[in-house]
Structure 1
């Protein structure tokens, strides 16, 4: 039995009943043999030696580990993806443009979407709005409500026009009332733009980074501060155009190629709203060929049919009176 079960403890003769009366306790070296029997050298074989790195200890049975919980059928990410897909939005595309969406809870996303639905936005409108400005998805309804209140009460937007305003400029919903919308409103009012509800897209712009640099540009090319402000008051959309991509190219063509006076720009700042390649150059060049010169509004604002009709009148008949809408001039005496 000793050879086949070497790890089973055996009764030590020191603890037999006839030694109890002497109250004899073994020494420390002998105490170690209480649990491990003496094994003769005949029983030791290479096969019975334990590995050097694993000491020979009594076998201890452990209960099996609890089974892992079954995986959830859908992760939170999958739930968000399916929910957004149900309203026509692609989660991957939104996350690329606004990464915080990935950490937003499904509950918060639903709250925001349901709040916008409650304002009578259609699914198609909402898809377009959120695609243009994914940041809105991570804004809670409690932060969106003050924006709608500001537009109605301070910007004086009519309730019936509210959806149109947001559809035109979704970024308004990603702006803070205190730090952006209200300061911009005050600036526009200070330069004489009173009907802000007609120019609500400007409310999401930065006064310091967008408005002031554009006013400064016109002062640098020779307009006084008063005249520069007058141009923006006359045509507030002028704030939306790029200095390098719009102002510089069109102004260079106006002065160098067209040879016209900057005073016309002051009276007709809408000049910068027309395409240089598709409207300004072609019409100017045909006027040069015909030897006529139209005032800027007549040159650019009219439809193609009306422009050609005026051109025919100037070239093939007696010139109309100067006060006539068909008036043109061989010289640009504006």
Structure 2
């Protein structure tokens, strides 16, 4: 029953056809946006001289866009362009910021933009959710419905995302909607499955990433610092979010501290790649220094996963009792001994 409902959710509705519609005198606003949005005119400084001149509204709007987006060519007194700006403002989109970040919207027809908005909001995305999605990925507005439908179908049928979770998946990673199924989403899915990640539906934010540009450089990095290809792949299988971390700003500094300051063995990283998910300055360094001062040594999970209260309590217990040496078999099992 749930599967049938989910499949029906992604069946295109004739009312959201991607064909160009004749423009009405004023843009149609989806009901979900009514009363929730207001124009962004108030964000523009009114101290600029031309705001005090009696000029046609389109002249003022085009002038502001030119001021905000000096490199963009604005259509001269184009009624269609004016209607497009009014429509964007009516649904709460900052047209100035949108054009600045995604100038393609200038040449995209109002009919296509409206069809995209109506299709996405018909899938129960709220006005607030839609504005947030466009803010994170403005390309959504210029993506045709005929390109959006295959993405929803792919997530449901091939990635096995339940229909009830589709909204959550898209809200978390809006870029999925502008990713090609054949050129990006499906190849990435196959790669993740090939390294042993079976439940990709729990890591859908990775699907819009490039295997060649993002995944392979990170696997290569771990090979370069001493892991075998098999061990490096195993780490990403254990903790797929490792693919998301910057090599320069995350992996390198944390690995350097792990080896130089902590003096730990690479085997620990292989068994606990989640180490890279903790803050170096706020969690790793302070706790390691406290352990050094107290003369104790915890396995990585016991050192980093526990709350601050439990960590301090564990330190007190170790200081006031006999603790196993690092060379003792009990030390490697410390995770169980100290109830992580």
TM-score strictly above 0.5: yes
1:117 maps onto 2:117 in alignment: no
Structure 2 gap segments, 5+ residues each: 1-55, 59-76, 325-329
In 1: Cα distance, 2:193 partner to 2:159 partner:
10
Deviation for aligned residue 1:313: 1.2
Determine the C-alpha separation between the residues in 2 that align with 1:114 and 1:94.
18
1:26 is matched with none
Equivalent in 201, 207, 227 of residue 205 of structure 2: 201
TM-superposed CA distance for 1:319, in Å, is: 4.2
Using CA pairs below 8 Å that are at least 6 residues apart, which structure has the higher relative contact order?
Answer: 2
Higher mean displacement: 71-80 or 212-221 = 71-80
Contact 1:313/1:326, CA 8 A, preserved across alignment: no
1:107 Cα deviation after fit:
1.2
Residue in structure 1 matched with residue 150 of structure 2 by the alignment: 146
Partner in structure 2 of residue 91 of structure 1: 95
Local SS of the residue matching 2:263: coil
Rate the CA distance shift 1:228–1:109 in 2: closer, same or farther, 3 A: same
TM-score, normalisation: structure 2:
0.73
Give the superposition deviation at 1:106.
1.2
Distance 1:324 1:244, change over 3 A: closer
Alignment partners' CA distance in 1, 2:57 and 2:315: 76
Please identify the structure whose Cα radius of gyration is greater: 1
- Tell me, yes or no, if structure 1 residue 182 matches structure 2 residue 186: yes
Question: How far did 1:80 drift?
Answer: 2.1
2:240 matched residue in structure 1: 236
Q: Which residue of 2 aligns with 1:11?
A: none
> C-alpha separation between the residues in 1 aligned to 2:282 and 2:86?
44
Residues 1:227 and 1:71: Cα distance change in structure 2 (over 3 Å) = closer
Q: How many residues align?
A: 259
In structure 1, what is the Cα distance between the partners aligned to 2:91 and 2:141? 13
Q: Which among 154, 175, 192 is matched to residue 171 of structure 1?
A: 175
- Counterpart-to-counterpart distance in 2, 1:80 and 1:287: 61
Task: Tell me by how many angstroms 1:272 deviates.
Answer: 0.6
Distance in 2 between the 1:92 and 1:318 partners? Answer: 66
Paired position in structure 2 for 1:62: none
2:275 counterpart of 1:280: no
Q: TM-score, normalised by structure 1?
A: 0.74
Q: SS of the residue aligned with 2:182?
A: helix
Residues 276-304 of structure 1, C-alpha deviation per residue, up to 9 Å, x if partnerless? Answer: 11111111111111111111011111111
What is aligned with 1:22?
none
CA–CA distance in 2 between the matches of 1:297 and 1:200? 26
Q: What is the correspondence of 1:49-60 to structure 2 with a 5 Å cutoff?
A: none
Q: Which runs of 5+ in 1 are unaligned?
A: 1-69, 329-334
1:65-105 CA distance string (max 9 Å, x none): xxxxx999983333222222222210111111111011111
Aligned pairs (5 A) from 1:279-318: 279-318=283-322
Moved more, 315-324 or 101-110: 315-324
Say which SS state the counterpart of residue 189 (structure 2) adopts. Answer: helix
CA-based RMSD: 2.1
Secondary structure of the structure 2 residue equivalent to 1:204: coil
Name which of structure 1's ranges 287-296 and 193-202 shifts more when overlaid on structure 2: 287-296
Alpha-carbon contact 2:302-2:334 (below 8 Å) kept? no
* 1:13-56: CA deviation from partner (whole Å, max 9, x where unpaired): xxxxxxxxxxxxxxxxxxxxxxxxxxxxxxxxxxxxxxxxxxxx
